[in-house]
């Protein structure tokens, strides 16, 4: 990556042969603050030691795409965030605009506000940005809204830089000119503030090693109590299917399912979680441009449709009557998000009952159905809920099956008379759930 960057550095900024936005960032356009942010990749040093995160002594921090602070170093705590002692526990309290509104040095806070609002302009629609201003004093919230309205959307960049005036790191109370570098990753935005006059080539070399940077940042990510939706989906009858197929074909089938579903989960901002067996677990976190709850539901609908196509293709290929089903359970909650680390990998982990509930609901589901909890459906907006077709099947006195729309039932009521399943699902027996049949596509 460093060699590629240095090669492109020889082109004038704004060249017609610039990398496409999708290749550069893989995300929507990023706004600039005033003055205009520009691409900056100085020539990389020849040889010498490489800078590491531990050696980075200047202010550095990372925010997710909902502009919640997920990591910062000691210099950023002192210079950018006014000396806060610890990072708040909840995601709402880590809102970077709320943290900056408490900055004692108003001159620095104003510039920092403008800078972050510029980054947010093309990532967050106006109505969503308003929600980010909640918890901020009314005068500051009004200022943020005006900055957002005035900010100009720039073409996306892999890295942006802009001059800022920040308190000097020596603590003498004076402002000093810095250059703020913003580097964009799928997991968030990494920002480094470098004092004017400091050697920057090694910093560019460090930021150019994107895989190393994000792996190091994820290792340092502090646990946070966050809202999320969890989707668990399992292949029905996987043991039987495995026994009927040669090993190479079974692995081919599973890999085809994962390869097909992966882009769907990414499209709806799903984050992969480790799952033992043939199924998948994905987390859906709050997003600046969409509702994470409806993201999970839309994702489940597309997964069901694609699985039907895969099932038909394998029926033709194998000339069998087997139907392949992915049974899906979805719920929501507020849980602790952190990382488990080994010598070679970093895994995002959510602790709490939410994942267990989703897994048990997936165990309950049959024949490729999608079931969601009442709590998730209840937290959708009225407009989102109006697009949803959901309910439960009941039997009348004559034994006829009747679908009761827009209704819920406890798991125990849905498995009456099935003692085997009742024992297995005892831990969610009183949980109210509903079958999600369809959801209108977004325009």
With beta carbons less than 8 A apart as the criterion, state whether 330 and 435 touch. Answer: no
pLDDT of res. 344: 66
Q: Which residues of 261-293 are buried (b: 16+ CB within 10 A; e: fewer)?
A: beebbeebbbbebeeeebbbbbbbbbbbebbbb
Rounded mean pLDDT for each run of 10 residues along the chain, 443 residues in total: 41 34 34 34 41 72 89 87 82 88 64 89 82 83 90 74 80 80 84 79 64 69 87 94 93 94 94 80 89 96 97 94 94 90 74 92 96 97 95 88 94 83 89 95 59
CA distances from 193 to 2, 15, 168 (A): 20, 27, 11
**pTM of the complete model:** 0.69
Three-state DSSP at 270 gives: strand
pLDDT of res. 186: 76
Phi and psi at residue 378, to the nearest 5°: -65, -20
pLDDT of res. 204: 65
What is the helix (H) or strand (E) element at residue 362, kind and residue range? helix 353-364
Structure token digits, residue 149: 């309205």
Beta bridge partners of 175: 167
| 182 closest CA partner among 15, 313, 39, 278 | 39
pLDDT of res. 292: 95
pLDDT of res. 377: 97
Going along the chain from its start, the domains and CATH numbers come out as 2-222 (3.30.450), 225-439 (3.30.70.1230)
Taking the C-alpha atoms of residue 106 and residue 421, their distance in angstroms, rounded to an integer, is 62
CA angle, residues 71, 299, 219, in degrees to nearest 5 = 20
With beta carbons less than 8 A apart as the criterion, state whether 360 and 425 touch. Answer: yes
pLDDT of res. 212: 67
Taking the C-alpha atoms of residue 55 and residue 380, their distance in angstroms, rounded to an integer, is 45
User: Phi/psi class of residue 149: alpha, beta or left (left: φ > 0; alpha: ψ in -120 to 50)?
Assistant: alpha
Cis peptide before 442 (omega within 30 of 0): no
């Amino acid at each position: 990556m460093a060699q590629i960057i240095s090669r492109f550095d020889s082109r004038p900024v704004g060249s017609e042969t610039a990398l496409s936005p999708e290749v550069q960032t893989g995300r929507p356009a990023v706004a600039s603050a005033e003055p205009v942010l520009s691409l900056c990749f100085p020539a990389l040093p020849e040889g010498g030691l490489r800078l590491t995160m531990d050696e980075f002594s200047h202010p550095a921090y990372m925010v997710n795409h909902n502009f919640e602070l997920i990591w910062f170093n000691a210099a950023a705590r002192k210079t950018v965030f006014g000396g806060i002692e610890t990072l708040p526990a909840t995601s709402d309290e880590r809102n970077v605009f709320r943290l900056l509104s408490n900055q004692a040095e108003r001159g620095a806070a104003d510039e920092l506000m403008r800078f972050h609002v510029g980054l947010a302009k093309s990532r967050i629609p106006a109505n969503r940005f308003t929600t980010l201003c909640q918890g901020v004093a009314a005068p500051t919230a009004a200022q943020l809204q005006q900055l957002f309205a005035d900010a100009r959307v720039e073409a996306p960049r892999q890295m942006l830089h802009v001059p800022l005036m920040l308190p000097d790191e020596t603590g003498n109370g004076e402002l000093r000119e810095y250059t703020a570098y913003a580097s964009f990753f799928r997991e968030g935005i990494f920002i480094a503030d470098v004092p004017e006059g400091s050697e920057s080539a090694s910093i560019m070399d460090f930021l150019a090693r994107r895989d190393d940077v994000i792996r190091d940042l994820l290792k340092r990510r502090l646990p946070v109590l966050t809202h999320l939706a969890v989707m668990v989906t399992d292949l029905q009858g996987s043991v039987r299917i495995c026994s009927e197929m040669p090993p190479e074909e079974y692995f081919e089938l599973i890999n085809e399912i994962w390869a097909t579903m992966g882009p769907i989960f990414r499209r709806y901002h799903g984050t992969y979680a480790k799952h033992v067996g043939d199924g998948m677990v994905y987390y859906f976190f709050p997003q600046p441009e969409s509702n994470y709850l409806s993201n999970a539901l839309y994702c489940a609908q597309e997964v069901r449709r694609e699985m039907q196509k895969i099932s038909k293709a394998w029926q033709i290929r194998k000339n069998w009557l087997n139907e392949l089903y992915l049974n899906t359970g979805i719920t929501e909650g507020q849980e602790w998000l952190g990382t488990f680390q080994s010598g070679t990998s970093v895994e995002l982990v959510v602790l709490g009952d939410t994942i267990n509930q989703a897994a048990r609901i997936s165990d309950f589901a049959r024949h490729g159905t999608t079931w969601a909890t009442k709590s998730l459906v209840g937290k959708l907006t009225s407009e989102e809920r109006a697009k949803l077709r959901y309910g439960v099947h009941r039997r009348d006195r004559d034994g006829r099956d009747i679908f009761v729309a827009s209704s819920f039932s406890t798991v125990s009521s849905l498995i009456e008379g099935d003692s085997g399943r009742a024992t297995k699902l005892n831990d969610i027996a009183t949980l109210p759930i509903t079958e999600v049949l369809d959801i209108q596509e977004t325009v």
